[in-house]
Structure 1
Amino acid sequence: MNEEDKIIDELIPKVLIDYRNLQVLQHLKKANVDYGKSIMLNTKIPLEEVLNILDYLEKLGLIERVHGASLKNTEAKFKLSNEVHKHHTYYTLTRLGDHLLRKLEDNLIEAYVNMVRNDSFALQILGLAEKLNADHAETYAKLTKKTIEEVNNKIEELMRMGLMEENKAKIIKFRERKSKPKKETRTHHKYYGLSRLGELVVRELKKRKIIIV
């Protein structure tokens, strides 16, 4: 393993700790060069958060500012036509950022497995999320014997990583929830389950017997 590969391996968890970091990097790969407002419109991430992410990724050395008073319109593929002559701070991937993305294209699930394999609490929550399909924090707390606060913090962490998501339906259909107590059939809670990415990661964790069924 060369020095750059070692650096990339160290940076991957710092990127995947928040899935939006990956979204911004992937967008810049497609756009070649882009600026905050355009990234916001294409990723649906609020502008203030986009700017924070750009600052974070720049500090990691994965993106860099494109200097020059203005850019040729052809260089910024997603530039809004009515903003062609406006001056923005543009960003593009660095060589390191491009290499990191290429590595994740082939090893994304592996990278997530490595991030959670030694976190027993995360493994508990992910395993339960697969069994329950969708449930609220109180159920996870009862089954893990943890406090609501501990469970909420861990679920938020896993949601930031892109492994879990909130089920937006106000009332979960009975067949979609495997542990629902009868009295709670129509109670309104926030329900949390695995994202599609989370399902793939849990499948790999089970395959490797890191999560035991």
Structure 2
Amino acid sequence: MSDKEELSAKLRIILRDIRYLTILKHLKIANVDYGKSIMLNTKIPLAEIVEILDDLERLGLIERVHGATLKNTEAKFKLSSEVHKHHTYYRLTREGDHLLRHLEDRMLIDAYMEIVKNDNLALSILRLADELNADHALTYAKLTHKRLEEITPKIEELVKMGLLEEKNSKIIKFADRKAKPKKETRTHHKYYGLSRIGELVVREMKRRGILPK
């Protein structure tokens, strides 16, 4: 496997959970940081951050920096009250930095397409999200002829990946929704639509014939 193929494979792994990319991007800005500070800056719960840091370290995208050898100027987000505390610090490895420096929309789109192109349910939901603009899980279930118990985990998976996002139901106009169930459903559900990168991925899948135009 070439270096480019190996990097693409690792990108597909981290794109299954957008929090991984969020933490990598934070470390790119912070230079060096530790769990609690990452939590404060990304709003990701600390327990989840610890697991993600372990995964990213196993992938070779980040590495540990011992606090005793860390210069105060290296950690840009270090809290002044914690300067003398001992933490486990992390920074990007050369490979992690290389991935982020070359991470463009095209690379993201190709990686996302590789992940979902053989997942028929994911493709159906993304196609409907493009057509509906924003709607709730029950509508997706009805239009895919699937049970809600099947649709909900798949929607959550696509949200986790960053292809779908939750929309604020209070500001969704009826005109924005092409599937209009009964009036009472409008304010009692979470509404889901395509994220910015989700829109780009769907557009490219249409262009390549993976999704119908």
Q: TM-score scaled to structure 1, two decimals?
A: 0.92
Deviation readout 1:134-179 (Å, 9 max, x if unpaired)? 1111111111111111111110110000011112334732112111
In the alignment, structure 1 segments of 5+ residues that lack a partner are none
- Give the number of aligned pairs: 212
1:1-213 correspondence to structure 2 within 5 Å: 3-105=2-104, 107-170=107-170, 172-184=172-184, 186-213=186-213
Equivalent residue letter for 1:13: R
Kindly indicate whether the alpha-carbon contact (under 8 Å) linking 1:27 and 1:43 is maintained by their aligned counterparts in 2.
yes
Equivalent residue letter for 2:92: L
Distance of 1:194 and 1:5 partners within structure 2: 29
Cα displacement (A) at 1:104: 2.2
Kindly indicate whether the alpha-carbon contact (under 8 Å) linking 2:56 and 2:62 is maintained by their aligned counterparts in 1.
yes
* Percent of aligned pairs sharing the same letter: 68
RMSD of Structure 2 on Structure 1 (CA):
1.8
The structure-2 alpha-carbon separation of the partners of 1:188 and 1:95, relative to structure 1 and needing over 3 Å to count, comes to: same
Distance of 1:79 and 1:171 partners within structure 2: 38
In the alignment, structure 2 segments of 5+ residues that lack a partner are none
Kindly indicate whether the alpha-carbon contact (under 8 Å) linking 1:174 and 1:185 is maintained by their aligned counterparts in 2.
no
What is the DSSP-based 3-state SS (H/G/I as helix, E as strand, rest coil) of the residue aligned with 1:85? Answer: coil
Kindly indicate whether the alpha-carbon contact (under 8 Å) linking 1:170 and 1:189 is maintained by their aligned counterparts in 2.
no
More displaced 10-residue stretch of structure 1: 179-188 or 157-166: 179-188
Q: TM-score scaled to structure 2, two decimals?
A: 0.92
The structure-2 alpha-carbon separation of the partners of 1:89 and 1:175, relative to structure 1 and needing over 3 Å to count, comes to: same
